[in-house]
Structure 1
Amino acid sequence: MNMQILDYEIAFTPLIPQQLLLILALIALAFTTLALWRRLPGWALRGLALCLVLGALAQPVIRQEDREYLSNIVFVVVDKTESQSVDIRPEQIAQGVAALRAEIGTLEGFETRLVEVENDPGVADDGSMMLGALAKAASEVATNRIAGALLVTDGQIHDAPALDSFPAPVHVLLTGQKTDWDRRLVITNAPAFAIVGEPVTLQLRVEDQGAVPAAVQGMAHLSISVDGGPAQEFDVETGRQFELPLTLPHGGANVLQFTVRTEAGELTDRNNAAVLSINGVRDRLRVLLVSGEPHAGERTWRNLLKSDSAVDLVHFTILRSPDKQDGVPVRELSLIAFPTRELFLEKIDEFDLIIFDRYRRRGILPNRYMQNVADYVRRGGAVLVASGPAFGGTESIARTPLNSILPAAPTARVIEKGFVPRISDLGQRHPVTESLDDFAPRPVAEDGTPGWGRWLRLIETVAPEGQTVMTGADDKPLLVLDRVDEGRIAMLMSDHAWLWSRGFEGGGPQLELLRRLAHWTMKEPELEEERLSGTVEGDAITVTRRSLTQEQADITVTGPDGSARPLETSEVSPGRWVGRFKGEENGLYRLSDGDMEAVVAIGPTAPREFEQTMADLSRLQPVMAATGGGSLRLEDYATPQLRQVREGRTAAGRGWLGVTPRNAYIATDIRQTPALPAWLLLVLVAGVMVAAWRWEGR
């Protein structure tokens, strides 16, 4: 609002330099003083004449300005960050801002500048940057127009140093209610890595804030789940840090979700959950490799396992069967005895994987031991069978109690001819063999033949119960995978994988295939056939659903505010569906397809905005004290009263807040008129001098 007002003032525009005018004034003063001292008649008139001459030289003018008075600006800074979206605070903000604008509108010459502060979705955890927003808005207008600032907030700001000074009072209108209370979960210490199977200790604390009802004081209900699995329930004491021992179930990323039950009356449940991703590291992967006889591919297995420094390999090769009679005394043999009882009865559960490489029945491992191996798999162990020609004969391990867990049975036929291993349709979707063509030395041929070398032997099997992911000669099963209760078993129906490592006909990805096989049997999450996972990059979330089925995955995304929405996915490769969406706010996002669940988090699961949710003035007190501002609770004063106060006076009182009128203006036109015309000055000077002469003549 602008007002046009005329203003007058007397100014001087000397005809001579000011220094010379000052010298003449001193000379005139000296002569007048001398005349007074000598008591000369007419000294006063002569002094007056000199003053009139000096006045004429100073040339007084009447300056006339056309002034356009500018409006006084009052900043209304509204906190619309996430913490202001809980309970009745949005209604309080809407009503309070409307009342303030109406009040400012009744003050003549005042103008409202509304500044809304929201969380920046591009910043992981920026908090409430109110004072920085006020400083930025104030820098865009002249300082002499700022009459005050009104902050509508809960007081939980995170940029207190951003406002060094302010030329007018800064007031706070506090949202929230005196009866507010909230409970939050705080993870004070958690490792980034932990050893699989060994306890890891986390430090947690459940905090209560505000006016906590007596019915829920003291105890909280905590649930913990790993990778979206069944939750473990605990009752913990609030306000006290406690240690929680957990054991990671697998290697790789273990996503731990902690949730404190939401009680009635809490401000928000956004700070009742937390998600941690702890990378599980296997201390020493213990692998037992039993080679039934020396052969060309035996070193392939050994090189693969020994190349990984985290693998603790126990390898036995049976060189001399018990029934062999060659006349050599046992004491002269340099080989150690096979500790069968110790390995297969007493310490079998210490191994993560058992590999039978061309093993045949020779009486070394009796049926009791093989039965123990089958039980070991059912309890969660893993077995990999690399078959040789003996697998189809009378010495086959398929004729032992191990047969109860084998996914395929031999027919006694050994196919001795060259063939190129092919990935089956199911294998194109299975993580063990998907994209294995990318590791081939040559691209796939036009007829679909993979670009790797042939194998020359296949043990025929029938009625596979598991998943046939690779086929060999005559489209017979080559690689079969299966789950048995809690464990896993893999069968490779050939002992010629070593031909790839030797570069036969170009070779092939033998090490990659065997590495995936070993890690699949050891339940690495990245090689799970059925898996729902999410990755976060900034505020973009990519959801991946892996499945062996042909059906499109229907994903439901539940946001931090509890709202659910469907997510469209598209099949980017066989067995892999991908969907993407943008997270609109920081916090925990839950993913579900009906069978599996996963969780991802943008920023911290309990954002900075929800660390402290109680309305509090402590962080704004220094700013109010420095500017003379005050505060009111919107709960008590839904319509704050504004008053005009002079600068330096008290700017707040009971139920009212003050703004300072600044009277800023701009001059649109300036006109100057001589105070006395020149002829009038001449007449006055002449008249005074004549009067002085006449006075002396008397």
Structure 2
Amino acid sequence: MTDLRFDPALPWWAIALLAGLALAIAGFALWRGLRGWAWRGLAGLAAAAALAGPALELGSRARLSDIVILLDDRSASQSLPGREAQTDAAIDDLGQRLAALPDTELRRVTVGDADDGTLLATEISRALAAEPDSRLAGVIAVTDGQIHDQAMLPETIPAPFHVLLSGRAEDWDRRLVIEEAPAFGLIDQQVMIRLRVEDQGAVPEDLPKQANLRLSLDGENERQVQVPVGTPLELPVTLNHAGQNVVQIGFDAPEGGELTDRNNSAAISINGVRDRLRVLLVSGEPHAGERTWRNLLKSDAAVDLIHFTILRPPDKFDGVPVNELALIAFPTQELFMERIDDFDLIIFDRYRNQGILPPDYYLNIARYVEQGGAILVAAGPEMASVESLNLSPLGAILPARPTGRVIDQPFTPELTDDGRKHPVTADLPGAPAPEGEGGDDWGRWLRVVQSTPNPDAEVVMTGAEDAPLLMLSRRGKGRVALLTSDQAWLWGRGFEGGGPQLELLRRIAHWSMEEPELEEEALQADVSDGLNVRFTRRTMQDRAGPLLITRPDGETEEVPLSQTAPGRFAADWSAPEPGLYRLQDGDLRRVVALGPSAPKEFEQTVATGEHLAPLVEATGGAVLNLSDGIPDLRQVAEGRTAHGRGVAQDWIGITPREAATVTGLQRRPLLPGWGWLLLISGLILIGWLREGRGGRTGGGRLPGQAGPDDARA
């Protein structure tokens, strides 16, 4: 490498001024007709050049090797039949051929699985950023062409880009595509899942054009339906409970050898929610705690509340017309007979059996509970009287029988052993510690109705003299809660420090309405970091587990559960692969979907060069199938065709770049100082001699020179 450099002795403006002055003098001499004008000008320019300090910079260079990037796709879709062997053979063959080329370095990049699929374009960009453009001779990708980050693909690169596709020309696959699925749905109402079954690749002509679609909700009640292939359709699903509903959809692998059955099924999690919770609150008489229930239920935007208060008992005869006692008549027939099934919860707050509701109404309420309804009875002293609801037909479903005694003495509510396990009362803020482990943090109540609980009732709180205070039970498909004191309002008023009044009443009401988070027998699976799961088992028993897990491939595994709190057992577990897992502990079963049942790698499995074609075309590369053989490798000049067909097989080319680096520099003056002096002096001398011999070149005369007229004389 040789370059001309300058080391001026004067500022450039001074040198330019000197050069301009020399040209001006030469021009003046030309105008005067002096024959040495050119030599004078050259002498001035030589003096300006000498002051500029020209020098030759001589560099020694070392050639740099060319770089070829070889991308090795090892994503999950490359594990399909035949592809791994094709990839291994191609990588080994190309690696050996590139290693045999002189001055060529190989950069091998392995592309694995990622949460978002095959990020081949991202790896290409990273590999290009790590290498200088001047040394890049080519990029070769051995892949099935199924990438999921096409937006990251560069528009062009300074070398040929070749794609060698694994797979076979006769590959085909049938897959399930979920086009649209809701994340939430209303309980007992249909939601629509939009899907289609489609074929890809070289599908056999005799393959049936219909698929037998199987559908199940939470792994139960599987039903089948025939659907046409390639036609979008909407599948109705009815959610039957609150919380997570797992819908599993799939079809059996068709005969004929499709690539994989990993994309033949899908698991969709839909959260079941209630439209609005409809609550009927009937207060038997005005009292200090009546407003508590109303405020609690009205503060919840998801609750539609209908509240009736009986201000005047039927046995009171004061001559006041009925139409002057209420704005509307108590619609007992409509509420308790015709529209009772519209309610999610009925609350009787200090209600007396005083003849307002006939026996048939109570029987209908009992039927309502047996078929899945819920009632909550908040009782006062009337529970121990002859007007007790226990003496009505409703008493058959209540969880306790009053003894007829009302205990009028202060007491602090206590949690029973079952109460420390039950989600309604467990972990209530400020709950008293078990006996001998600390003092009480709750305020006292002043009254409780003594009762005898039924054997199947769960007593979760007790009052004075260990009398049952809060009891919960199940009747048929429904639920019944009984609170044997009307003193909960004391907590809300802060009496002796108060207590979690609203939280307790909220939990009782929502347990009655079957909120999943308050189920006493439940199995939760909290998924984090992809396939890591924390199992939480809630139970009223003293032990739980081991948890039986059925994997997507049918294999089973037992996971022991350890106690973390009363009624709480947990375990941390990592799933080996995405898919649908079935959980079982005794009679309790649960289905959980971990990751997509059809991973992104298997959404589309037929090899294609479509996604990488823009970069291949922009660089003059080629897309070739490894099923046709591993192509030959050649070196071609930059700008020439980088692929073609040889005598026996295809070939791909890389372009040697002949890059080099400077290893040293040496600067030599164009002329030494004495050389410039001789050059300038010689030019001046030649100009002087030229003028002295030749004189003027035009019509002017020098002194003493004879003109034409003198010769004629």
Please classify the TM superposition score into its range, dividing by the shorter chain length.
Answer: 0.7 to 0.9
Match of 1:651 in 2: 642
1:367–1:401 CA contact under 8 A, matched in 2: yes
Tell me the SS of whatever aligns to 2:420: coil
Question: Per-residue deviation at 1:393?
Answer: 3.7
CA distance in 1, matches of 2:668, 2:510: 99
Q: Does the C-alpha gap of structure 1 residues 322 and 108 become closer, same or farther in structure 2, counting only changes over 3 Å?
A: same
- 1:467 partnered with 2:458: yes
Match of 1:104 in 2: 98
Q: 1:373 aligns with which of 343, 346, 365?
A: 365
CA distance in 1, matches of 2:611, 2:651: 22
Give unpaired runs (5+ residues) of structure 2: 10-15, 19-49, 670-713
Match of 1:140 in 2: 130
- 1:176 partnered with 2:167: yes
- 1:152 partnered with 2:152: no
- What TM-score, normalized to structure 2? 0.78
CA distance in 1, matches of 2:430, 2:383: 31
Comparing 314-323 with 623-632, greater Cα deviation is found at 314-323
CA distance in 1, matches of 2:540, 2:490: 30
Match of 1:199 in 2: 190
Q: 1:403 aligns with which of 395, 414, 433?
A: 395
1:443–1:450 CA contact under 8 A, matched in 2: no
User: In the TM superposition, what whole-angstrom CA distance separates every residue of 1:530-584 from its partner, at most 9, and x where no partner exists?
Assistant: 2223334554544433222232444466778888766565433322334445678
Question: Per-residue deviation at 1:615?
Answer: 0.9
CA distance in 2, matches of 1:134, 1:560: 35
| Letter aligned with residue 121 of structure 2 | L
| Letter aligned with residue 73 of structure 1 | I
Match of 2:655 in 1: 660
Q: Does the C-alpha gap of structure 1 residues 476 and 628 become closer, same or farther in structure 2, counting only changes over 3 Å?
A: same
Over aligned residues, Cα RMSD in angstroms?
4.4
Tell me the SS of whatever aligns to 2:169: coil
Match of 1:417 in 2: 409
- 1:91 partnered with 2:85: yes
Question: Per-residue deviation at 1:355?
Answer: 1.4
- 1:359 partnered with 2:351: yes
| Letter aligned with residue 658 of structure 1 | G
| Letter aligned with residue 102 of structure 1 | Q
CA distance in 1, matches of 2:573, 2:423: 25
Q: Does the C-alpha gap of structure 1 residues 194 and 408 become closer, same or farther in structure 2, counting only changes over 3 Å?
A: same
Question: Per-residue deviation at 1:433?
Answer: 1.0
Match of 1:300 in 2: 292
CA distance in 2, matches of 1:215, 1:386: 70
CA distance in 1, matches of 2:661, 2:426: 76
| Letter aligned with residue 149 of structure 1 | V
Tell me the SS of whatever aligns to 1:437: coil
Q: Does the C-alpha gap of structure 1 residues 552 and 283 become closer, same or farther in structure 2, counting only changes over 3 Å?
A: closer
1:411–1:462 CA contact under 8 A, matched in 2: no
CA distance in 2, matches of 1:109, 1:667: 17
Q: Does the C-alpha gap of structure 1 residues 564 and 147 become closer, same or farther in structure 2, counting only changes over 3 Å?
A: farther
Question: Per-residue deviation at 1:610?
Answer: 3.5
Tell me the SS of whatever aligns to 1:433: coil
Match of 1:508 in 2: 499
1:421–1:455 CA contact under 8 A, matched in 2: no
Question: Per-residue deviation at 1:239?
Answer: 1.7
1:555–1:566 CA contact under 8 A, matched in 2: yes
| Letter aligned with residue 117 of structure 1 | V
Comparing 423-432 with 454-463, greater Cα deviation is found at 454-463
Q: Does the C-alpha gap of structure 1 residues 670 and 467 become closer, same or farther in structure 2, counting only changes over 3 Å?
A: same
CA distance in 1, matches of 2:488, 2:6: 109
Comparing 97-106 with 188-197, greater Cα deviation is found at 188-197
Q: Does the C-alpha gap of structure 1 residues 472 and 266 become closer, same or farther in structure 2, counting only changes over 3 Å?
A: farther
2:153–2:615 CA contact under 8 A, matched in 1: no
Instruction: State, as a whole percentage, how many aligned pairs show the same letter.
Output: 49
Give unpaired runs (5+ residues) of structure 1: 1-8, 21-56, 675-698
| Letter aligned with residue 177 of structure 2 | V
Match of 2:615 in 1: 623
| Letter aligned with residue 144 of structure 1 | S
1:248–1:280 CA contact under 8 A, matched in 2: yes
Question: Per-residue deviation at 1:421?
Answer: 0.9
Q: Does the C-alpha gap of structure 1 residues 286 and 641 become closer, same or farther in structure 2, counting only changes over 3 Å?
A: same
2:443–2:497 CA contact under 8 A, matched in 1: yes
CA distance in 2, matches of 1:507, 1:14: 93
1:416–1:457 CA contact under 8 A, matched in 2: yes
1:132–1:163 CA contact under 8 A, matched in 2: no
Tell me the SS of whatever aligns to 1:78: strand
User: In the TM superposition, what whole-angstrom CA distance separates every residue of 1:114-145 from its partner, at most 9, and x where no partner exists?
Assistant: 10122445xxx3x3222332232233233333
| Letter aligned with residue 664 of structure 1 | A
1:500–1:506 CA contact under 8 A, matched in 2: yes
Q: Does the C-alpha gap of structure 1 residues 154 and 573 become closer, same or farther in structure 2, counting only changes over 3 Å?
A: same
| Letter aligned with residue 624 of structure 2 | L
CA distance in 2, matches of 1:666, 1:385: 91
| Letter aligned with residue 132 of structure 1 | T
2:442–2:498 CA contact under 8 A, matched in 1: no
2:350–2:378 CA contact under 8 A, matched in 1: yes
Match of 2:447 in 1: 456
CA distance in 2, matches of 1:547, 1:79: 48
CA distance in 2, matches of 1:513, 1:669: 85
- 1:77 partnered with 2:68: no
Q: 1:432 aligns with which of 424, 431, 435?
A: 424
Question: Per-residue deviation at 1:194?
Answer: 3.8
Question: Per-residue deviation at 1:64?
Answer: 10
| Letter aligned with residue 107 of structure 1 | L
Q: Does the C-alpha gap of structure 1 residues 552 and 266 become closer, same or farther in structure 2, counting only changes over 3 Å?
A: farther
Q: Does the C-alpha gap of structure 1 residues 177 and 400 become closer, same or farther in structure 2, counting only changes over 3 Å?
A: farther
2:253–2:264 CA contact under 8 A, matched in 1: no
1:219–1:236 CA contact under 8 A, matched in 2: yes
1:444–1:450 CA contact under 8 A, matched in 2: no
Match of 1:25 in 2: none
1:322–1:362 CA contact under 8 A, matched in 2: yes
| Letter aligned with residue 100 of structure 1 | L
Question: Per-residue deviation at 1:353?
Answer: 0.7
Match of 1:310 in 2: 302
2:219–2:248 CA contact under 8 A, matched in 1: no
Match of 1:499 in 2: 490
CA distance in 2, matches of 1:609, 1:434: 45
2:77–2:602 CA contact under 8 A, matched in 1: yes
Question: Per-residue deviation at 1:263?
Answer: 0.7
Tell me the SS of whatever aligns to 2:311: coil
Match of 1:478 in 2: 469
Question: Per-residue deviation at 1:286?
Answer: 1.7
CA distance in 1, matches of 2:551, 2:85: 23
Q: Does the C-alpha gap of structure 1 residues 166 and 498 become closer, same or farther in structure 2, counting only changes over 3 Å?
A: same
Q: Does the C-alpha gap of structure 1 residues 459 and 495 become closer, same or farther in structure 2, counting only changes over 3 Å?
A: farther
- What TM-score, normalized to structure 1? 0.79
Question: Per-residue deviation at 1:385?
Answer: 1.7
Match of 2:378 in 1: 386
- 1:548 partnered with 2:543: no
Question: Per-residue deviation at 1:384?
Answer: 1.1
2:173–2:260 CA contact under 8 A, matched in 1: yes
Question: Per-residue deviation at 1:310?
Answer: 2.9
CA distance in 1, matches of 2:61, 2:282: 101
User: In the TM superposition, what whole-angstrom CA distance separates every residue of 1:485-542 from its partner, at most 9, and x where no partner exists?
Assistant: 2211111122222222232222211111111111111111111222223334554544
Question: Per-residue deviation at 1:357?
Answer: 2.0
Aligned length: 640
| Letter aligned with residue 75 of structure 1 | I
Match of 2:589 in 1: 596
Q: 1:636 aligns with which of 618, 628, 649?
A: 628
Question: Per-residue deviation at 1:247?
Answer: 3.2
Question: Per-residue deviation at 1:149?
Answer: 1.4
Question: Per-residue deviation at 1:155?
Answer: 1.0
1:444–1:451 CA contact under 8 A, matched in 2: no
Tell me the SS of whatever aligns to 2:421: coil
The structure whose Rg is larger is 2
